[in-house]
Amino acid sequence: MTSTQKDQHGARSQRSQEADKPHRRKGEKTYSCDECGKDFTRTGHLKTHQLIHSGVKPYSCDLCGKSFTLAQSLETHQLIHSGVKPYSCDLCGKSFTQAGNLKTHQLIHSGVKPYSCDLCGKSFTLAQSLETHQLIHSGVKPYSCDLCGKSFTQAGNLKTHQLIHSGVKPYSCDLCGKSFTQAGYLKTHQLIHSGVKPYCCDLCGKSFTLAGNLKKHQLIHSGVKPYSCELCGKSFTWPRDLKSHQLIHSGFKPYSCELCGKCFTQAGNLKSHQLIHSGVKPYSCELCGKSFTWPRDLKSHQLIHSGFKPYSCELCGKCFTQAGNLKSHQLIHSGFKPYSCDLCGKSFTRAIDLKSHQLIHSGFKLYSCDLCGKSFKYQHQLKKHQQIHTRK
């Protein structure tokens, strides 16, 4: 057999061997990971993937110390520190460090959400986003915080949470100085200063800086309150409101005011309370000049000037500017007086009325006249007294 014949025979033999192998269509994923079951089209991709399970991250960033399994991942990460974002979205102007991130972002503008959750019907632009969402329904939260025990469905969420305990807030607002643990929170906050509120509620006209805030607000109009308290039956629109409410039943009030000793279930309530002691009232009524500590109190006050009282009592016809005031009034008709004085047994419809009454027994006169120094137990008594000075 000549050398040419040998070459031809070898080529035929190689083609025969290839034909004997199982036929694999282009794009077919035949290589599976034994650890997690993920499939790959090439053995090289599988080997690269398996490094994730090893936990070895030999490539570290010199600037922030973050470690990576692959050198390529480190290079991609380092673009963040460079600040260079050469890929911009033509529709909204948002910039990205990588072309792939820009492509992913552009799917948002398309409005196409082909990936839907079978359990709740929520749709997503990316398959990965659907997978992340489905973890919520599983109820599995394998990542726990060593400091407070709070659990999370994803490792990334745990890392973000742990920043709270560190107390480090490296992102500060140039306009007001407020600091944040994450850059994303700072960006969201800065929208407040811009004054731009592009998302408007069709039902009441209220505007919001973020689309997510509008969606949350619209739940109020739906009247749906799926989160109920097992102890008293009170229902809430959002789970966080239920959690806050449940603290009331626990009786646990870990946040105390250093000035007056009043205790609160939440740190936010303590901060709001401390503004009272500061004496600062930055919110003033343009019509009468009366000042308030909080903007919500100013809004409530302004309703008085409008004369608009949409909430009427069905029993006596008395009208009110706010729904809360109507509810308080309706307790009078119910005859229910759950708040009793330990000293004299007198009962009251509201807790605030009991507190006012208890001042009688204490002998303490909280309200003093600036002009003559005379003190009174009740504010209405002081106002009546001050009329004497105005008549002179």
Residue 54, both tokens? 């090893």
Q: Does domain 339-391 fall into CATH 3.50.50.60? A: no
**Neighbouring C-beta atoms of residue 22, cutoff 10 Å:** 5
Domain ranges of the chain: 281-334, 339-391
Residue 183, both tokens? 């850059």
In 3D, which of 190, 196, 187, 197 has the Cα closest to residue 175? 190
d(CA 381, CA 367): 9
| Single-letter code of the amino acid located at 331 | L
Question: What is the 3-state composition of the chain as percent helix, strand, coil, each rounded to the nearest 5?
Answer: 45, 15, 40
- pLDDT, one tens digit for every residue, the chain (392 residues): 555 554 554 444 444 444 444 455 555 768 888 888 888 888 888 888 888 888 888 888 888 888 888 888 888 888 888 888 888 889 888 888 888 888 888 888 888 888 888 988 888 888 888 888 888 888 888 888 998 888 888 888 888 888 888 888 888 899 888 888 888 888 888 888 888 888 888 988 888 888 888 888 888 888 888 888 888 888 888 888 888 888 888 888 888 888 888 888 888 888 888 888 888 888 889 999 888 888 888 888 888 888 888 889 999 999 988 888 888 888 888 888 888 899 899 998 888 888 878 878 887 777 888 888 888 877 888 888 988 888 75
**Neighbouring C-beta atoms of residue 169, cutoff 10 Å:** 15
- 281-334: which CATH architecture? 2-Layer Sandwich (3.30)
Tell me 349's DSSP state: S
**pLDDT, position 79:** 83
* Strand 311-312 to 319-320 pairing: antiparallel
| Single-letter code of the amino acid located at 233 | G
In the numeric block, the tokens 């963040």 are attached to 80
Tell me 335's DSSP state: T
Residue 327 burial class via C-beta count within 10 angstroms: exposed 0-12, middle 13-18, buried 19 and up: exposed
33: Cβ–Cβ under 8 A, 6 or more apart, which residues?
Answer: 39, 40, 46, 49, 50, 53
Phi, psi (degrees; rounded to nearest 5) at 348: -140, 155
Q: 3-state DSSP call for residue 150?
A: coil
Residue 339, both tokens? 């708040």
Whether 307 and 287 have beta carbons less than 8 Å apart is answered as: no
d(CA 77, CA 68): 9
Say if 281-334 and 339-391 have the same CATH topology: yes
Q: 3-state DSSP call for residue 129?
A: helix
Whether 254 and 261 have beta carbons less than 8 Å apart is answered as: no
d(CA 235, CA 228): 4
Residue 360, both tokens? 């009688």
H or E element in which residue 228 lies: strand 227-228
Q: How many residues does the chain have?
A: 392
In the numeric block, the tokens 């709270």 are attached to 164
d(CA 132, CA 212): 18
**pLDDT, position 15:** 44
